[in-house]
Amino acid sequence: MKTRSIRVRLTLWYFAILAPALGLCGVGAWFAMRGSLYSTIDESLRDRVRGVRKFIEVQGASLAPIEMRDEFKEHSVLGPGGDLFQVRDAQGNWLYRSAPLEDHDVPVLAPEKLKQRFYEDRLIGGTPLRLLSQKIEVRGQFYTVQVAARMEELNEALARFRWWLLMSVPLVLAMALAGGYHMSRRALAPVDAITNTARSISAQSLSSRLEVPATGDELQRLSETLNDMLQRLEATFHRITQFTADASHELRTPIALVRTTAELALHEQRTPADREEAIREILEESERTSELLENLLILARADSGKEALQFSVVDLSALVRETAEQGQKLAAARQLEFQAQIEDRAVEVLADPHAIRRLILILLDNAVKYTPQPGRVSLSLTAANASATVQVGDTGIGIAGEELPHIFERFYRTDKARSRETGGVGLGLAIAQWIAEKHKGRITAQSELGRGTVFQVSLPLAEAAPERAV
């Protein structure tokens, strides 16, 4: 089944609501008009009963029944339609009967049987009549008065009004539907524009943005939301593209070196010592490549949300002491001084111990690599104000001020000329920042060229740390 467009569905919903509403309004208007006309007729009938009563009060005491009948006949005291009435006393004597009512022998209830006013509609001699029967009392005598009004004009007026409703309601409904469809097209025209623009955006044109109408309504908010989404998609796409390009570039260099070294090692003129040296170079390059691949996998799993950390309450003091031992070995290998200042008391944090150890080792490894001899590398742990701070400092070459905002970007290297010598590819600090953020912490750096660098990692203590999603 073909899906209807929103404008068609809006029009159908509009019709489904408007049609019953107009129908109810038409029926209500007809009954309101009918009630108003009947109310007018009934009021005139009551006036005529009051006129009959007044006539009997004035004339009834001095006239015999026959004379009163003549007076009723001669005097038109009841206005238009006054010939349609009949009066009977309590003894059943007719004081007056108009010819149409007498000819068709219209019955009248005795006063004792008539409790109140009684309205009825009858068809007498082919003429529709509205009758009012009422008991009246004059000087202790009871009479039954029945007055009638012709209903031809009222029925004709109701019929004309009914036909007018039957003709006008469908016409109004059709006009309303046409107007509703037109308004829905006008209202949804910006949605079509948004759709066409969004359809034209591809991976090559992610910088395109939707036109935002200055209407202050849902369409403006939708356009702004879609533009924000496109901006995030563009940033993510560029980051992935750059990540892929940088990873390819970083992998191409060691692979080329391994291949070249292997080809030279297979040369017939190479001595066993040369081949051994070549194999050693291939091993070193393979180790660097393995480390690069491991870092790439960590970041890829982190981006996809599949790098799950296992959080538990950890004594950060003990963890930093263990890591300090490895830092001591790294510094000793480069003949650097190593200093460690760690809290004696337990400092508990909610963390993944393997991830925190990796973070600290990344910072220590960078400090050792970029600190020339003679130099010093330091590691400290302090706890205050519901947070623990791990600090790694060195007296190395430092980082320029304009470089500091970029050092946590992937594959960013401040000393590109020394990258092969030191083995860095610009992923360590990106991984360190990801680990810190996953622990609801933050990592900052302060540096000065020629005087060294200090990294600080702040983590919330266990009693202040929010629960982590793993």
Residue 278, domain CATH = 1.10.287.130
- 13 and 151 in a common domain: yes
Instruction: Find all residues with CB under 8 Å of 196, minimum gap 6, and list them.
Output: none
- 12 and 151 in a common domain: yes
- 233 and 337 in a common domain: no
Closest CA to 52 of 149, 146, 150: 146
Query: Domain for residue 176, yes or no?
Result: no
So what's the pLDDT on residue 338? 94
Last residue of a domain, one of 120, 142, 157: 157
So what's the pLDDT on residue 415? 58
- 369 and 273 in a common domain: no
Last residue of a domain, one of 125, 157, 189: 157
- 281 and 319 in a common domain: no
The Cβ of residue 197 has, within 10 Å, a number of other Cβ atoms equal to 16
Query: Domain for residue 182, yes or no?
Result: no
Contact 416, 367 (CB under 8 A): no
Query: Domain for residue 427, yes or no?
Result: yes
Residue 326, domain CATH = 3.30.565.10
- 101 and 68 in a common domain: yes
> d(Cα 25, Cα 37) in Å, to the nearest integer?
18
Residues 318-326: contacts with CB under 8 Å, at least 24 apart = 318/346, 319/353, 319/356, 319/357, 320/360, 320/379, 320/381, 320/390, 322/357, 323/357, 323/360, 323/361, 323/364, 323/379, 324/379, 326/361, 326/364
Query: Domain for residue 434, yes or no?
Result: yes
So what's the pLDDT on residue 414? 64
- 327 and 299 in a common domain: no
> d(Cα 436, Cα 314) in Å, to the nearest integer?
15
- 317 and 299 in a common domain: no
What single string gives the DSSP state of each residue in 210-251? ----TT-SHHHHHHHHHHHHHHHHHHHHHHHHHHHHHHHHHH
Task: Kindly provide the b/e burial profile for residues 252-288, where b requires at least 16 CB atoms within 10 angstroms of the residue's own CB.
Answer: ebbeebbeebeeebeeeeeeeeeeeebeebbeebeeb
- Domain encompassing residue 138: 6-157
- 277 and 313 in a common domain: no
CA angle, residues 208, 210, 214, in degrees to nearest 5: 145
CA 309 to chain centroid: 33
Query: Domain for residue 329, yes or no?
Result: yes
- Domains held by the chain: number: 3
Within the chain, which residues score under 50 in pLDDT?
1-2, 76-81, 417-420, 469-470
So what's the pLDDT on residue 417? 44
Query: Domain for residue 208, yes or no?
Result: no
- 284 and 315 in a common domain: no
Residue type, 36: S
So what's the pLDDT on residue 105? 83
Query: Domain for residue 193, yes or no?
Result: no
- 263 and 349 in a common domain: no
Q: What is the pLDDT of residues 295-325, one digit of tens each?
A: 777 777 766 666 678 889 999 999 999 999 9
Query: Domain for residue 197, yes or no?
Result: no
- 423 and 317 in a common domain: yes
> Helix crossing, 353-369 with 316-333: angle to 10°?
30
Last residue of a domain, one of 303, 329, 351: 303
